[in-house]
C-alpha cells in the first residue's frame, strides 16, 4: 500500500468535515462513468468500464460442461478476478489473495443471487450438458472503487455476450451420436444468440472516514478509510446492490471500522438513487431500452 503523507490525509479529513471532497464532488456523487463493449474479439462478450481513472476489463468465455448434480438442467457460472500488477504497484503477481477473492465473490454474488443470468435457459442436453459462463475480471488501472467498476464491467460484458453456437458446432455434431436429445436445442438455436439475462441490480459502494460517508471513493479516500499509517482510524466500506424496484439484492461491509444502523439505511437509499442513474448509463451503452 502506498502511504499517503499524513498531511494529505489530514487535509482530506478536514475537507470532509466541511462537507467537501478534494475533487469537488458531493459525498454521494460518482466520478464520470464510461462503458465500452465488444473490446475483445476472442471473448464471447467483453466490456471496458472506467469510473474516473479506475479502469476494469471484463471478458466472458463460454464452454460446454456438466451440470451440478443438484441442478441438472441449469447452466453454471464462475467469476474470477485478477489484481494484475499492471494496475497498481501494490498488486502482486501470484495466486489471488484475500482482496482479489473478496472482490470476485462479491461481484459473483451480485450476479448469482440476483439471478441475472437465466441459467435454466443454458441447458443443452438435460442432465448431461450445459453452458458454463466464465466471467473474468481484469483490473487495468486502479484509482479506487474496484467493487463498483468490476461489477459494472461484468454486467456490461454479459449484456454484450452471444452464446457461441457457431464456434461449438463441431462439438455439437459429435454429441448428436451420444445425446440425440440435443437436436431440440439445436433447432431452437440455429446460430449465435444473446445470453439470456434478467434485469440487473447495480452495486454502489461507499466508504466512511472521519465520520462522513462518501460514495465512489477515489484511491486517496480508500486509503484513508483503510487507515494506512494511522492507527486510530477505523474506516469502513459498504457495498449495496439494488434493483429497478429499489429492492436490496446484496450487501457487503468491509474494512476494520463500523457503521451505525442509520448510516447503513442512508447508504442503502443513496445506493438506490445512484443505482438508477448508473443503470441508465449501462442500458444506453448496451443498446437496451
Partner 1 sequence: MKSDIKLIDGHGKRLDGRKADELRKIKIEAGVLHRADGSCYLEWGGNKVLAAVYGPREAIPKHTQNPLKAIVNARYNMASFSVEDRKRPGPDRRSVEISKVISEALERVILIEQFPRTMINVNIEVLDAEAGTRCAGLTAAGVALADAGIPMIDIPVACAAGKIDGHVVLDLGQKEDNFGDADLPLGLAPRINEVILLQMDGHLTMDEFNKAFELAHHGCLVVSEMQKKALLEKYESVVQPEEVVQDVQPEESE
Tell me whether residue 19 or residue 95 sits nearer to partner 1 (CB atom). Answer: 95
Q: All 3 cell numbers of residue 96?
A: 489471488
- Provide the 10 A C-beta neighbour count for residue 162: 17
Strand boundaries in 2-148, DSSP class E: 33-37, 45-51, 54-65, 76-82, 123-125, 129-141
Closest approach of partner 1 to the CB of residue 45, in Å: 9
Tell me whether residue 128 or residue 141 sits nearer to partner 1 (CB atom). Answer: 141
- Calpha distance 32→93 (Å, rounded): 29
Tell me whether residue 178 or residue 258 sits nearer to partner 1 (CB atom). Answer: 258
- Calpha distance 148→49 (Å, rounded): 10
Closest approach of partner 1 to the CB of residue 114, in Å: 8
Closest approach of partner 1 to the CB of residue 18, in Å: 24
Closest approach of partner 1 to the CB of residue 177, in Å: 22
Tell me whether residue 89 or residue 287 sits nearer to partner 1 (CB atom). Answer: 89
Contact between 133 and 78 under an 8 Å Cβ cutoff? The reply is yes
Tell me whether residue 7 or residue 187 sits nearer to partner 1 (CB atom). Answer: 7
Helix (H) or strand (E) holding 107: helix 98-112
As to burial, measured by CB atoms within 10 angstroms (0-12 exposed, 13-18 middle, 19+ buried), residue 111 is buried
- Calpha distance 130→64 (Å, rounded): 6
Q: How many CA atoms lie within 13 A of 16 on its CB side?
A: 22
Tell me whether residue 38 or residue 181 sits nearer to partner 1 (CB atom). Answer: 38
User: Where does this chain bind partner 1 (CB under 8 A)?
Assistant: 39-43, 46, 53, 55, 57, 59-61, 63, 70-71, 80, 82, 84-89, 93, 95-96, 98-99, 101-102, 104-105, 109, 113-114, 134, 136, 138, 140-143, 167, 229, 231-232, 234, 238, 246-261, 264-265, 268-269
Closest approach of partner 1 to the CB of residue 192, in Å: 15
Amino acid at each position: 500500500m502506498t502511504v499517503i503523507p499524513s498531511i494529505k490525509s489530514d487535509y482530506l479529513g478536514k475537507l470532509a468535515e466541511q462537507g467537501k471532497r478534494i475533487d469537488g464532488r458531493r459525498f454521494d456523487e460518482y466520478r464520470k462513468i464510461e462503458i465500452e463493449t465488444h473490446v475483445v474479439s476472442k471473448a464471447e462478450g467483453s466490456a471496458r468500464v472506467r469510473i474516473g481513472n479506475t479502469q476494469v476489463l471484463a471478458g466472458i468465455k463460454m464452454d460446454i460442461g456438466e451440470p451440478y448434480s443438484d441442478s441438472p438442467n441449469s447452466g453454471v457460472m464462475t467469476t474470477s478476478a485478477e489484481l494484475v500488477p499492471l494496475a497498481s504497484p501494490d498488486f502482486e503477481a501470484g495466486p489471488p489473495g484475500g482482496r482479489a477473492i473478496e472482490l470476485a465473490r462479491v461481484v459473483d454474488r451480485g450476479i448469482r443471487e440476483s439471478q441475472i443470468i437465466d441459467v435454466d435457459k443454458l441447458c443443452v442436453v438435460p442432465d448431461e450438458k450445459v453452458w458454463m459462463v466464465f466471467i473474468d475480471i481484469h483490473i487495468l488501472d486502479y484509482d479506487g472503487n474496484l467493487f463498483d467498476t468490476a461489477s459494472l464491467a461484468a454486467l456490461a460484458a454479459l449484456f454484450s455476450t452471444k452464446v457461441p453456437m457457431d464456434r461449438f458446432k463441431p462439438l455439437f455434431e459429435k454429441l448428436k451420436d451420444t445425446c440425440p436429445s440435443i437436436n431440440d436445442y439445436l433447432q431452437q438455436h440455429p446460430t449465435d444468440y444473446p445470453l439470456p439475462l434478467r434485469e440487473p441490480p447495480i452495486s454502489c459502494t461507499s466508504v466512511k472516514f472521519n465520520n462522513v460517508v462518501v460514495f465512489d471513493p477515489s484511491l486517496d479516500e480508500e486509503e484513508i478509510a483503510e487507515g494506512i499509517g494511522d492507527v486510530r482510524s477505523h474506516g469502513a466500506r459498504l457495498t449495496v446492490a439494488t434493483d429497478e424496484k429499489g429492492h436490496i439484492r446484496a450487501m457487503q461491509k468491509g474494512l476494520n471500522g463500523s457503521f451505525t444502523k442509520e448510516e447503513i439505511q442512508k447508504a442503502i437509499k443513496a445506493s438506490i438513487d445512484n443505482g438508477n442513474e448508473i443503470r441508465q448509463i449501462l442500458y444506453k451503452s448496451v443498446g437496451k431500452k
